[in-house]
Amino acid sequence: MSSPHPIEARLWEEATPLTHLHAFLYWERTKPKAVFLRQPYGRRWHTVTWQEAGDQARRIATALQAFGVQKGSLVGLLSRNCYHWILADLAIAMTGAVSVPFYPNLAPADLQTVLEKSEVTHLFVGKLDAGYWEKVRHVIPSHLRLIRFPLYPGASAVDKGEAWEALLRRHTPLSDPYQPQLQDLWTILYTSGTTGTPKGVMLPYRCPVRFMEHERQYGDFRLFELPEYRLFSYLPLNHIAERIAIEVAGLYRGGVLSFVESVDTFTQNIQTTQPTFLFGVPRIWQKFQQGVLERFGGPKRYNRLVGLPWIGSLLKKYIRRKLGLARVQLALTGGAITPDPIKSWFHDLGVPLREVYAMTENCAGCTVMPRHTYKAGTVGKPLQGVRLKIDPHTHEILMWADWVMDGYYKDPAKTAEVLQGGWLHTGDTGEIDEEGFLRVTGRLKDTFKTAKGLFVVPEPLETPFAQLPYVEQVCVVGLGLSQPLLLATLSELGLKTPRAEVEAAFLHLLESVNGPLPPYQRIARIVLLPESWTIENSLLTPTLKVRRPQVHQRYSPFYSAWLEHPAPILWHDPQQKPVPI
């Protein structure tokens, strides 16, 4: 790796172990006037220096101690990304307590479940979408002591709890923050609940510390090699990738962290920020791509324009700047498998998008596509310090690293099921090729049995269709059916494109996908759905993954009628009456 700046190099002499809290205290002391956090308010950016952040975090830490918070206490966080989120998380760490952040878009019943399971005693409530607080306030347990962030423009007005500003005035800065040790519990992160009830992943400080030590030594991602660590935070901060790559690594690097204000201002905010590092789930990169293709009138016209000599390279440069990617030196995608055509599209645009495969349970560290390398159909090679093997009977991917979780909070049975003999059972199936690249082939729990008694893995069938620019979401279903069905919702481009053109694209791909498959795996019908799958209607998780059980429950009454229809592609009529099964 390249030589770090002398000030940054001295950071690693500060403490053993060097946690991200130690890193924050170091930057607070060595560059107090430098900008740390940037929060947009319309066209204006409010900046917070390291010294100002330290002052507020230390005062809130003193307030928490006055409320009875101590080492090991469980303190919750419910807020969209904002600078108060980071300050609250730092304050929690300064008391030796455990931060337990929640997705700020959970349905009321789901929020109630995780609040009860987590056993938090205090809860920060912050920047929430308009109307959200009114929906969930009744599920907040009455015994929780609430601390509310200052009101952000357009956000829900939280009418309960202690006001942040009042606590700042009332309390003095904490002079002796807690010094975390490797074995101390850092955070409990609740999974997004793709297949059932969310589980609380317990990550001690050992996990981020060992992960960052390996990254600094071996540079698998290049996090410590970027000359400037300018970040843009928009994914939920309780998502493990955002927590590690944005918050934790940002603190180690002493980077500048900017936030998105809202979905509506995303483009404006990222254009102004122009980050040097960006992480996104596949859906985000697909949205980038679809927005560009729609603006240029579809894939054919776009390809023709960018293929023009001279003009093409200038056009790509213009697109990168408009997307906010003009200065990106490290672009990562993960959280689900990213279709190869999307990665190829960004490579051609001049944004070398690298796939990451990881999960909350291994602190976002498992495999990454090596730099200057691209192998289609794979998610890269194991990080230094990671060992992988494939279960010979189930083909499940098993991994070992020094940053694997301690277990699931108060769920020893599930912990024993997932952690066996020091190996993390990922729940994913895959294979390792002769060059050491990992190919993920599906999820064990997603495999279903058809009426013929044969098993179908849905992911390989879904992936080609997810690559169509007309597609928003796809899901292959077929439990107990004679043949699988593919359900799809359309993207904005798909909704604007003539139906005949959309059908032709699906039909051509259907023939290509079905051709080499054994008969029992072939997709019998493609059903195009007019409604969207959203977090609000419980068909997507907070991380935008499809909730297969809920999709099955919603559409299973229509399966028989769809299979009996003679056409291979159907446009579902919402007025169609379901058939009892």
Helix axis angle for 311-323 and 266-273, nearest 10°, is 110
pLDDT digits (tens, 9 = 90+) for 349-390: 999 999 999 999 999 999 999 998 889 999 999 999 999 999
pLDDT digits (tens, 9 = 90+) for 199-252: 999 999 999 999 999 999 999 999 999 999 999 999 999 999 999 999 999 999
Q: If we measure between CA atoms, which residue out of 117, 107, 112 comes closest to residue 550?
A: 107
Cβ atoms < 10 Å from Cβ of 419: 17
CA dihedral 216, 220, 222, 224 (to 10 degrees): -10
Q: What is the mean pLDDT of residues 391-418?
A: 96
The amino acid sitting at 103 is Y
Domain ranges of the chain: 6-250, 261-444, 447-571
d(CA 379, CA 443): 15
- The confidence band for 166, taking pLDDT boundaries of 50, 70 and 90, is very high
Task: List the alpha helices (DSSP H) in 31-146.
Answer: 50-66, 83-94, 108-118, 132-136
Query: Above 50 in pLDDT, residue 411?
Result: yes
Counting residues of the chain whose pLDDT is more than 70, the rounded percentage is 97
What's the pTM? 0.88
Query: Above 50 in pLDDT, residue 279?
Result: yes
The amino acid sitting at 575 is Q
| DSSP 8-class letter at 99 | E
Question: Tokens 């769920």 identify what position?
Answer: 411
- 261-444 fold: Rossmann fold (3.40.50)
Q: Is domain 447-571 annotated with CATH 3.30.300.30?
A: yes
pLDDT digits (tens, 9 = 90+) for 31-84: 999 999 999 999 999 999 999 999 999 999 999 999 999 999 999 999 999 999
Query: Above 90 in pLDDT, residue 262?
Result: yes
Q: Do domains 261-444 and 447-571 have the same CATH topology?
A: no
Helix (H, G, I), strand (E, B) or coil at 352: coil
pLDDT at 114: 95
pLDDT digits (tens, 9 = 90+) for 121-159: 999 999 999 999 999 999 999 999 999 999 999 999 999
| DSSP 8-class letter at 239 | S
Q: If we measure between CA atoms, which residue out of 319, 313, 196, 190 comes closest to residue 267?
A: 319
- The confidence band for 451, taking pLDDT boundaries of 50, 70 and 90, is confident
Helix (H, G, I), strand (E, B) or coil at 149: coil
- The confidence band for 2, taking pLDDT boundaries of 50, 70 and 90, is very low
pLDDT digits (tens, 9 = 90+) for 495-541: 999 999 999 999 999 999 999 998 999 999 999 998 899 888 889 88
Asked if the bond preceding 17 is cis, omega within 30° of 0, the reply is yes
Q: What is the Cβ-side half-sphere exposure of residue 533, based on CA atoms within 13 angstroms?
A: 28
| DSSP 8-class letter at 444 | G
- 6-250 fold: Rossmann fold (3.40.50)
Residue 551 tokens, joined: 């999709």
